[in-house]
Amino acid sequence: MKKSILLLLVMFSTLIFAQENKKLALTPPMGWNSWNKFGCNVDENMIKQMADAMVSSGMKDAGYEYIVIDDCWQVSRDSLGNIIADPERFPSGIKALAGYIHSKGLKFGIYSDAGTKTCQGRPGSRGYEYQDARTYATWGVDYLKYDWCNHSTQDAKASYSLMKDALVKSGRPIVFSICEWGTNKPWLWGKEAGGNLWRTTGDILNCWDCITDWGGMGWILILDKQNGLESYAGPGHWNDPDMLEVGNGGLNDTECCAHFSLWCLLAAPLMAGNDLRDISESTTEILTNKEVIAIDQDVLGKQGYKIKDDGDFEIWYKPLESDDIAICFLNRSKEPMDIDIDWETLDIKGKYKIRDLWKKKNTGTTNKNFKAEIEPHGVIFLRLIEED
Amino acid sequence: MKKSILLLLVMFSTLIFAQENKKLALTPPMGWNSWNKFGCNVDENMIKQMADAMVSSGMKDAGYEYIVIDDCWQVSRDSLGNIIADPERFPSGIKALAGYIHSKGLKFGIYSDAGTKTCQGRPGSRGYEYQDARTYATWGVDYLKYDWCNHSTQDAKASYSLMKDALVKSGRPIVFSICEWGTNKPWLWGKEAGGNLWRTTGDILNCWDCITDWGGMGWILILDKQNGLESYAGPGHWNDPDMLEVGNGGLNDTECCAHFSLWCLLAAPLMAGNDLRDISESTTEILTNKEVIAIDQDVLGKQGYKIKDDGDFEIWYKPLESDDIAICFLNRSKEPMDIDIDWETLDIKGKYKIRDLWKKKNTGTTNKNFKAEIEPHGVIFLRLIEED
């Protein structure tokens, strides 16, 4: 009798826990990650300052919650195989750092790699999956970005499923960010492997459309690779076009608006990658525009897609809750562009109020054509609000 | 200065250790494994008795050294992920058992699986590779048989390489037995993955030529799959046609002789699979025939191959040190067979003394035809000794 009560309790806790895991990342995760700005140059003071700045800049209020340390926090393993943080850069230890971040009402993320070594040659988790997941849980880790360097001939789905199993076994709900660069089409198996988000391409670069041999590219080239993937995203499992380059200097404010708008239209994870301690007013305005962020975080969880492509001019579309619609007009050219849109040609019938999300103004309805000028490399980002 | 001396010492020890690892299984491993006779029915008393019997039966003197527990010794993992032996069947623990086996001058082997679970549903090593290898080293394990059940979509070479890396990292020389059943042609990558031996087929069955849906088969069918693999075997890295069924009752003495002879001609690992505590005189004679074993253990490490196939009649050939040759005539039919062999038709020129390894007699030279009768399902196993 006692045994069966115990068994019921165990089953019940397992159920609760499974439910908790299912509740992870029901909207695209928002936060900050060290890589884009700092690369390997990470330490505990900088990370703590970033947590402070996330609060003081208003980003926390806007919905950002994860502070994620990318590669280079780890240096070795001890004789029992436990992963060891760099004692010079993280003298207080990762657990204390996680505690500090939690004390700010934020969540804490960390980085590892499915291979023998990380991309920067630090110890990877391969063959240590359960031990590392246990360590992360002990430290209070809430988010794991899991990279794909030095993976040998491993099968990607199996490797990521394994770490997911280890995270679940750890007993702590941990958002699982699959960083496999799109090579093995993770949108086809990422959800089954337990990923809450999965990268679809190589690394984003701090530019409009530059490109490198090793697969890095500007945000507009990444955007081009997202269309067609929309059916794979949804609450709890997102396509990840990589972190934001807003505020890192490679894009002007107009371009940053375009990049941020389209990431929101894609229901992309919004991981800021700039120095939050030294953030301009315009960057803050972009990153904390709540009406724009609301497009990203819409509870329907639909990833937007392109409905018109005229070369330099594109129209992107995202269904929202309450039958609202997000529309983004993108001018890829280096010249201003005049547009004159007949809504019916976009199959948008019925009457919607038009809200310009960057001007923060209502600008008429869909009863008549929409006429405007779009800046070079700019967007006009609208919410069409269904009238009752 | 002190630092560089320390560094030199570290490099030297690493070198010594790498050399030790390279010295593993320079001839095919010989020992005993619990699976063929006992399946899951293993416990520490039985294993200790088997070690005692290996000594008292003369098998140790004949070269057998590893006592290997196959599946079912393990039941769970503790909260730190450490693998736990069945406390009812192994109350003294695996380390004590290994100590007992070492005290008999023997070596100790254990079993795990590259997947999440073993073939019998016990905890596998996937994601625990380094931790398990460290545990094995602490226990004094000398040999690991590593199975392939429940491997999901893992890549075989990567999975086995991983456990090999973990074994090397453990700091203890441990023979690595890849048990992948031949599905992914392990002969093509087994050596590179660090395997000292690798299974080439499904499980051997206790019969002449029976076969099952799940890939099990009698020894003669396994033999048929070995020809052509000879180029992949050599000192330190062997094709493994699976363990012996000698003395398990499914083969008569003549058939056991044939099975054992051909395993030796193949330079196969010789892992007895019978109950050594209850071993007949004829089985002992087969398993401990030193002249036959010498063919298996020949230092050249050449795997033999078939040079004639007349359906029911086959001739197998193995080059030996000092230009000696092993020849095995196999009668697959159920009738006695008269043979009359002109050595020149086998491209065996020059004059050799002929040693019959089962009759333990010299029987002339290759100057004239070899005439004999082979029993049904029998062999004549000869060593041709080059005359100076």
Closest residue of A to B189, CA-based?
Answer: A153
* A166–B127 CB contact, under 8 Å: yes
pLDDT at B234 over 60: yes
B146 and B231 share one domain: yes
DSSP β-bridge partners for residue A197: A177, A238
B160 and B101 share one domain: yes
Q: Which of A80, A116, A130 shows the shortest C-beta gap to B127? A: A130
User: What's phi and psi for A264, nearest 5 deg?
Assistant: -70, -40
User: Residue B113: its chain A contacts at CB < 8 A?
Assistant: none
Residue in the structure block whose two tokens are 């890849």: B178
Structure confidence at residue B17 as a pLDDT band (50, 70, 90): low
User: Residue B158: its chain A contacts at CB < 8 A?
Assistant: 151-155
> Tell me, what's the pLDDT at A5?
56
In whole angstroms, what is the distance from residue A379 CA to residue B137 CA?
62
A305–chain B nearest CA distance, Å: 32
User: Residue A128: its chain B contacts at CB < 8 A?
Assistant: 127, 129-131
In whole angstroms, what is the distance from residue A358 CA to residue A265 CA?
14
Tell me the per-residue pLDDT of A299-345, one tens digit each, with 9 for 90 and over. 999 999 999 999 999 999 999 999 999 999 999 999 999 999 999 99
Model-level pTM?
0.88
* A158–B161 CB contact, under 8 Å: no
Measured CB to CB, residues of chain A less than 8 Å from chain B are 80-81, 116, 126-131, 134, 151-155, 157-159, 161-163, 165-166
B16 and B49 share one domain: yes
A195 and A258 share one domain: yes
Tally Cβ neighbours within 10 Å of residue B188: 13
In whole angstroms, what is the distance from residue A278 CA to residue A193 CA?
38
* B162–A126 CB contact, under 8 Å: yes
Mark which of A249, A270, A296 sits at the end of a domain. A296
Q: Which of B81, B155, B161 shows the shortest C-beta gap to A155? A: B155
Closest residue of B to A152, CA-based?
Answer: B158
Mark which of A296, A327, A347 sits at the end of a domain. A296
Closest residue of B to A125, CA-based?
Answer: B127
Structure confidence at residue A115 as a pLDDT band (50, 70, 90): very high
Judged by average pLDDT, the poorest of A19-23, B94-98, B198-202, B256-260 is A19-23
Q: What angle do CA B53, B56, B58 make, to 5 degrees?
A: 105
pLDDT at A222 over 60: yes
Q: Which of B81, B128, B154 shows the shortest C-beta gap to A158? A: B154
> Tell me, what's the pLDDT at A1?
42
DSSP summary character for residue B278: S
What is the residue type of B67? Answer: I
User: Residue A80: its chain B contacts at CB < 8 A?
Assistant: 134
Say if residues A42 and A89 touch (Cβ distance below 8 Å). yes
Here the CATH number for the domain that contains residue A268 is 3.20.20.70
Q: Helices in A176-234 by DSSP H: which ranges?
A: 219-224
* B127–A153 CB contact, under 8 Å: no
Q: Which of A128, A155, A163 shows the shortest C-beta gap to B154? A: A155
A268 and A360 share one domain: no
pLDDT at B8 over 80: no
User: Residue B172: its chain A contacts at CB < 8 A?
Assistant: none
User: Residue B81: its chain A contacts at CB < 8 A?
Assistant: 130-131, 134
How far apart, in Å, do the first and last CA atoms of chain B sit?
58
Measured CB to CB, residues of chain B less than 8 Å from chain A are 80-81, 116, 126-131, 134, 151-155, 157-159, 161-163, 165-166
Say if residues B82 and B135 touch (Cβ distance below 8 Å). yes
B223 and B345 share one domain: no
DSSP β-bridge partners for residue A337: A374
Collapse the DSSP code of B254 into the 3-class scheme (helix H, G, I; strand E, B; otherwise coil) and give the result.
helix
A271 and A371 share one domain: no
> Tell me, what's the pLDDT at A22?
67
Active-site residue B86, yes or no?
Answer: no
**Annotated catalytic residue: which of B43, B70, B86, B203?**
B203
Q: Helices in A214-308 by DSSP H: which ranges?
A: 219-224, 253-265, 281-287, 290-296
A323 and A290 share one domain: no
> Averaged over B240-257, what is the pLDDT?
98
* B134–A81 CB contact, under 8 Å: yes
User: Residue A81: its chain B contacts at CB < 8 A?
Assistant: 130-131, 134
- CA-closest candidate to residue A363, choices A371, A156, B24: A371
* A155–B157 CB contact, under 8 Å: no
ipTM here = 0.83
Note the Cα B107 to chain centre separation in Å: 14
In whole angstroms, what is the distance from residue A266 CA to residue A341 CA?
22
A143–chain B nearest CA distance, Å: 19
User: Residue B163: its chain A contacts at CB < 8 A?
Assistant: 127
* A158–B153 CB contact, under 8 Å: yes
In whole angstroms, what is the distance from residue B353 CA to residue B364 CA?
6
Token digits for B135? 């545990």
Q: Which residues of A are catalytic?
A: 147, 203
A243 and A113 share one domain: yes
Say if residues A351 and A324 touch (Cβ distance below 8 Å). no
> Averaged over B298-322, what is the pLDDT?
97
In angstroms and rounded to an integer, the radius of gyration of the C-alpha atoms of chain B is 22
B114–chain A nearest CA distance, Å: 11
| Host H or E run for residue B222 | helix B219-224
User: Residue A131: its chain B contacts at CB < 8 A?
Assistant: 81, 128, 130-131
Which residue range(s) make up the domain with B287? Answer: 2-296
* A157–B161 CB contact, under 8 Å: no
Say if residues A158 and A165 touch (Cβ distance below 8 Å). no
| Host H or E run for residue A272 | strand A270-272
Tell me the per-residue pLDDT of A339-370, one tens digit each, with 9 for 90 and over. 999 999 999 988 999 999 999 999 999 999 99
> Tell me, what's the pLDDT at A20?
59
Here the CATH number for the domain that contains residue B361 is 2.60.40.1180
A379–chain B nearest CA distance, Å: 43
User: Residue A130: its chain B contacts at CB < 8 A?
Assistant: 81, 127-128, 131
Token digits for B263? 């395993």
Mutation site, B155, B157, B164, B188, interface A, largest A CB count within 10 A: B155
Query: Which residues of chain B form beta strands (DSSP E)?
Result: 30-33, 66-68, 74-77, 83-85, 107-113, 143-147, 175-178, 197-199, 238-240, 270-272, 305-309, 313-319, 325-331, 337-341, 352-356, 361-365, 370-374, 379-386
B178–chain A nearest CA distance, Å: 17
Closest residue of A to B116, CA-based?
Answer: A162
Structure confidence at residue B1 as a pLDDT band (50, 70, 90): very low
Say if residues B88 and B44 touch (Cβ distance below 8 Å). no
A151–chain B nearest CA distance, Å: 9
Q: Which of B81, B130, B152 shows the shortest C-beta gap to A161? A: B152
Mean pLDDT score of chain A, rounded to an integer? 95
Mutation site, B138, B152, B168, interface A, largest A CB count within 10 A: B152
> Tell me, what's the pLDDT at A4?
57
B138 and B220 share one domain: yes
Structure confidence at residue B64 as a pLDDT band (50, 70, 90): very high
B189–chain A nearest CA distance, Å: 12
Mark which of B296, B313, B340 sits at the end of a domain. B296
pLDDT at A10 over 90: no
A151 and A173 share one domain: yes
| Host H or E run for residue B206 | none
- Residue A300 burial (CB < 10 Å; 0-12/13-18/19+)? middle
What lies within 8 Å, CB to CB, of B299 at 6+ separation is B26, B27, B235, B321
What lies within 8 Å, CB to CB, of A299 at 6+ separation is A26, A27, A235, A321
Overall domain count for chain B: 2
> Tell me, what's the pLDDT at B15?
52
Bigger pLDDT: A186 or A350? A186
What lies within 8 Å, CB to CB, of B326 at 6+ separation is B264, B265, B295, B298, B304, B317, B318, B320, B381, B382, B383, B384
* B152–A131 CB contact, under 8 Å: no
A78 and A27 share one domain: yes
B103–chain A nearest CA distance, Å: 28
Q: How many CB pairs under 8 A join A and B?
A: 61
User: Residue B165: its chain A contacts at CB < 8 A?
Assistant: 116, 127
Tell me the per-residue pLDDT of B70-106, one tens digit each, with 9 for 90 and over. 999 999 999 999 999 999 999 999 999 999 999 999 9
> Tell me, what's the pLDDT at A23?
85
**What are the C-alpha distances in Å from A363 to residues A353, A368, B235, B307?**
8, 11, 81, 89
